[in-house]
């Protein structure tokens, strides 16, 4: 009886009722927006959650000729095989090397580019710069990869230009020498995504109160001081969120790009986890093994996300959750 009375009092709590009523009204006022979200939720459920049932084959010896239920259990053998693979060290080093280069060098570039664009006062020139920087993003890596293979060949325009300005003495096969691959990957990815990645920072900068800049001008601050004291602190939250997502995807090395630019000559520096999963899964038919490798990558990504989010929450007081 006492428990029932407490539950009844909790249900009839005026504050709770008021809170629920406010939530219902807000939900009703946003009913059309909520309806627009439903197709996205359905798509995510079908293509992101239902396929997760297939993770079970990472712990089985699956063959295409039998069902998942018929496949025998092997426990953690597929994971052990990956860790003992002779290519494991090279694959992990390449994945982390390329991703860390993109994190350390590639991540700040869109921020710097957005800050520079924001300082442009000529509207026409600013629009032209933005348009030209966005264009590479809309080219697929299949198209762009073919262009880069031609440009980076010994007879390509890159070598012609570098030889003409006396930076190098003779042409270099950039995709034929493994030691150049990480830098080719970094530079080509940064060039392709620089303008597009800067959009979110430009949007954040546009939301900064202009009165702060006016007050800083009155106080005698120059442009650099305004950037350091006003603009950057104002977009710290956006930078923190993007950094968390970048860190969580540290084992992602842009599969499309690597697959297009990789060849048998530079494979020692270009083989990453994503291309390895594709190779053993799609071309060799080792579905259980490939699933185990992909699951390993996903678990590490989750751990990195939690670490990055916790660190950001403590240091910057900003986080995803």
* DSSP state letter for 68: T
> Residues 274, 294: contact at Cβ < 8 Å?
no
Q: Which residues contact 225 (CB under 8 A, 6 or more apart)?
A: 216
The band of 8, judged by pLDDT with boundaries at 50, 70 and 90, is very low
Class of domain 76-315: mainly alpha
Any idea where the domains of the chain sit in the sequence? 1-59, 76-315
Task: Give the Cα separation of 18 and 42 in Å (integer).
Answer: 31
User: What pLDDT shows up at residue 12?
Assistant: 58
Q: What is the pLDDT of residues 14-57, one digit of tens each?
A: 777 777 888 888 888 888 888 998 999 999 999 989 988 889 99
Choice among 17-31, 146-160, 248-262 with the minimum mean pLDDT:
17-31
User: What pLDDT shows up at residue 122?
Assistant: 84
User: What pLDDT shows up at residue 26?
Assistant: 86
The band of 309, judged by pLDDT with boundaries at 50, 70 and 90, is very high
* Paired tokens of 113: 């580019």
Q: Is 9 a residue whose pLDDT tops 60?
A: no
Q: Kindly state the percentage of the chain with pLDDT values over 90.
A: 60
Stretch 68-77: mean pLDDT? 90
Q: Work out the mean pLDDT of the chain and round it to a whole number.
A: 89
* DSSP state letter for 72: P
Q: ∠ at Cα 137 (241, 250), nearest 5°?
A: 40
Q: Is 4 a residue whose pLDDT tops 50?
A: no
Q: Kindly state the percentage of the chain with pLDDT values over 70.
A: 96
Q: How many residues are recorded in the chain?
A: 321
- Inter-CA distances, 120 with 112, 132, 220, Å: 13, 15, 20
Task: Give the Cα separation of 59 and 198 in Å (integer).
Answer: 42
Q: Is 247 a residue whose pLDDT tops 50?
A: yes
Choice among 7-11, 106-110, 193-197, 254-258 with the minimum mean pLDDT:
7-11
Bridge-partner residues for 73, per DSSP?
A: 60
Q: Which residues of 38-61 are buried (b: 16+ CB within 10 A; e: fewer)?
A: eeeeeeeeeeeeeeeeeeebbbbb
Instruction: Strands of the chain (E only): list them.
Output: none
Q: Is 162 a residue whose pLDDT tops 80?
A: yes
Q: How many helices (H) and strands (E) does the chain have?
A: 18, 0
Rounded to an integer, what is the distance from CA 43 to the centroid of its chain? Answer: 20
**If we measure between CA atoms, which residue out of 113, 106, 102, 103 comes closest to residue 244?**
103
Task: Give the Cα separation of 149 and 265 in Å (integer).
Answer: 13
Q: ∠ at Cα 60 (58, 62), nearest 5°?
A: 95
Stretch 170-182: mean pLDDT? 92
Stretch 127-133: mean pLDDT? 90
* DSSP state letter for 280: I
Task: Give the Cα separation of 111 and 239 in Å (integer).
Answer: 8
* Paired tokens of 23: 């939530």
Stretch 178-185: mean pLDDT? 94
């Amino acid at each position: 009886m006492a428990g029932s009375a407490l539950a009844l009092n909790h249900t009839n709590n005026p504050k709770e009722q008021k809170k629920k009523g406010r939530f219902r009204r807000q939900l009703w006022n946003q009913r059309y927006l909520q309806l627009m979200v439903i197709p996205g939720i359905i798509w995510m459920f079908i293509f992101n959650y239902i396929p997760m049932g297939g993770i079970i084959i990472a712990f089985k010896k699956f063959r295409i000729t039998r069902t998942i239920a018929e496949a025998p259990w092997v426990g953690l053998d597929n994971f052990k095989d990956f860790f003992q693979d002779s290519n494991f060290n090279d694959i992990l080093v390449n994945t982390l090397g390329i991703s860390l280069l993109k994190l350390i060098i590639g991540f700040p570039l869109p921020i710097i580019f957005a800050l520079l664009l924001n300082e442009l006062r000529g509207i026409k020139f600013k629009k032209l710069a933005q348009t030209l920087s966005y264009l590479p993003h809309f080219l697929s890596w299949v198209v762009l990869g073919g262009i880069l293979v031609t440009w980076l060949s010994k007879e390509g325009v890159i070598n012609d230009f570098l030889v003409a300005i006396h930076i190098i003495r003779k042409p270099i096969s950039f995709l034929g020498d493994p030691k150049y691959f990480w830098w080719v990957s970094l530079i080509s990815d940064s060039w392709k995504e620089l303008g597009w990645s800067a959009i979110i920072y430009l949007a954040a900068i546009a939301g900064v109160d202009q009165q702060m800049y006016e007050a800083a001008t009155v106080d005698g601050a120059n442009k650099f001081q305004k950037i350091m004291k006003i603009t950057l602190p104002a977009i710290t939250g956006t930078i923190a969120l993007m950094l968390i997502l970048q860190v969580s995807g540290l084992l992602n090395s842009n599969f499309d790009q690597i697959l297009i630019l990789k060849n048998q000559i530079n494979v020692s520096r270009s083989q990453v986890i994503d291309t390895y999963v594709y190779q053993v899964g799609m071309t060799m038919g080792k579905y259980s093994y490939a699933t185990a490798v992909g699951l390993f990558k996903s678990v590490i990504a989750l751990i990195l996300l939690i670490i990055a989010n916790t660190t950001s929450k403590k240091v910057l007081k900003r986080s995803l959750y």
